[in-house]
Amino acid sequence: MAGKWQYPHRRWNPLRQAWLLVSPHRTQRPWQGEVAQKSAPSAVQYDPDCYLCPGNKRAGGAENPQYDSIFTFTNDYAALLPDLPSQQDVPSSPLLVAETARGLCKVLCFHPDHSLTLARMTQPEIRRVVDAWTKEYEELGAIDWIKYVQIFENRGAMMGASNPHPHGQIWTTGFVPDEPAAETAAQREYSSNNSRCLLCDYVKEELRAAERVVLENEHFAVIVPWWAIWPFEILLVSKQHASAMPEFSESQRDALADALKRLTTRYDNLFETSFPYTMGLHQAPTDDDDHKEWHFHAHFYPPLLRSATVRKFMVGFEMLGMPQRDITPESAAERLRACSEEHFWPR
């Protein structure tokens, strides 16, 4: 099928209920735009100036413990706050509506070693991160006013990471944000119309076709989705139906750590660089509603397009019209499948 789609066409994203434009012929155009700097893995295991290394003082003044595994703390510069004034300004117009946005933001350090990334950590080390994510989702989601727990990682300066230390973030909100709200609506509609799970059906179809599957293990599939927007976008999805990580067995948690290790290693090996991306776990909202329709998955949105130094920009038509990509998801999956799972930069 890869050759069949070498002309401009649109693809439907059933999870977001939106179209995207695919223009494979555009990879032939010359590039005279921005060329970024290639990012090599760090060799610095401890940085005395890093706000996240063990024992160091953070920008807000707090001192980190001498942690030897996982370390979490409330973000010193949180985008959302748990305590807000009850009084709200009355909007002067129905077109000028606002409301208070309550939330709680945390930082989760994956490892004390400043030089590491998920790609260069061991599977057991990543499993500890999986356990920490699960614990945070359970504990934060149990707070009565928290409606959604968004776990994510921005990897690399190209994706806005303000610190190279291996870490991610957890933002919780008193409302369900737009992206998971849209996915809730799509999954609920599909379940209502078909009496089946959208992503359960989708995973079966992708495993049958095998064109866009990068790797799999007993419990997870790693796919360049049919509707991928970013060049090497990935949907990491559980094969068995589960709405959130607390439902995973011990073997499923091991399998998730395995899939994360293998995928991020392939990413780094693709262009022999510390591969940038934004990764986020999508799980059922914690709003006390029944979310049987929800199916756990993770999105990886990496910006690199042609090399370690040339990235995809979402500008122009992408911002004003609709998302567009230059290489087909099938060719992206083929290139990632060809990558080794032995990291090019030994730990």
Residues 339 and 176: their CA atoms lie apart, in Å, by: 37
Give CA–CA dist 275/263, Å, rounded.
11
Q: How confident is the model at residue 112 (pLDDT cuts 50, 70, 90)?
A: very high
Give residue 1's pLDDT. 47
**94, 86 contact by CB (below 8 A):** no
Provide the pLDDT confidence category of residue 32 given band limits of 50, 70 and 90.
very low
Distance CA 271, CA 45 (A): 23
Question: Looking at the DSSP assignment, which residues form a beta bridge with residue 72?
Answer: 108
Residue 235 lies in a domain: yes
Residue 185 belongs to a domain: yes
Which has the closest alpha carbon to 324: 26, 4, 16?
26
What is the percent of the chain with per-residue pLDDT over 70, rounded to a whole number? 94
| Alpha carbons 180 and 176: distance in angstroms, whole number | 7
Rg (CA), the chain: 21
Segment 131-146 mean pLDDT: 98
Task: Quote the mean pLDDT of the chain.
Answer: 93
> Where does 17-122 have alpha helices with state H?
none
Q: What is the pLDDT of residue 160?
A: 87
Please give the Cα distance from 332 to 310 (Å, whole number): 15
Please give the C-alpha separations between residue 336 and each of 20, 129, 212, 322, 328, in angstroms, as whole numbers.
22, 24, 10, 26, 13
pLDDT at 129 over 50: yes
What total of structural domains would you count in the chain? 1
pLDDT at 92: 81
Q: Indicate whether 224 belongs to any domain.
A: yes
Res 29: pLDDT: 53
The whole-angstrom separation of Cα 131 and Cα 34 is 39
- Is residue 11 a part of any domain in this protein? no
Catalytic residue among 114, 167, 219, 297: 167
Domain annotation covers residue 319 = yes
CA distances from 46 to 40, 161, 312 (A): 17, 18, 32
Residue 272 domain boundaries: 38-81+101-337
What is the pLDDT, as a whole number, of residue 33? 53
Please indicate whether residue 167 is annotated as part of the active site: yes
pLDDT tops 70 at residue 37: no
Helix segments in 149-283, DSSP class H: 178-194, 198-209, 250-271
The phi, psi pair for 238, rounded to 5°, reads -75, 140
274: β partners:
none
Residue 85: predicted pLDDT = 82
Please say if the pLDDT value at position 102 is more than 70.
yes
E-assigned strand segments in 4-43: 9-13, 18-22
Q: Where are the alpha helices (DSSP H) in 272-320?
A: 317-320
300's tokens: 């990886």
Q: If DSSP codes are grouped into helix, strand and coil, which group holds residue 21? A: strand
pLDDT tens for 243-290 read 999 999 999 999 999 999 999 999 999 999 999 999 999 999 999 899
Question: What is the C-alpha separation between 277 and 116, in angstroms, rounded?
Answer: 15
Mean pLDDT of all residues in 109-126: 98
pLDDT class of 226 with cuts at 50, 70, 90 = very high
Is the distance from CB of 146 to CB of 172 less than 8 angstroms? yes
Which CATH number characterizes residue 296's domain? 3.30.428.10
pLDDT at position 12 over 70: yes
Average pLDDT over residues 160-180: 96
* pLDDT mean over 302-310: 90
Q: What is the structure's pLDDT at 174?
A: 97
Edge-to-edge strand list for the sheet holding 18-22: 9-13, 18-22, 324-325
- Residue 71 pLDDT more than 60? yes
Q: Which has more confidence, 49 or 87?
A: 49
Q: Is the pLDDT of residue 65 over 60?
A: yes
Per-residue pLDDT at 347 exceeds 90: no
Is the residue at 269 inside a domain?
Answer: yes
In a domain, 160, yes or no: yes
At 14 the three-state DSSP class reads coil
pLDDT computed for residue 35 by the predictor: 55
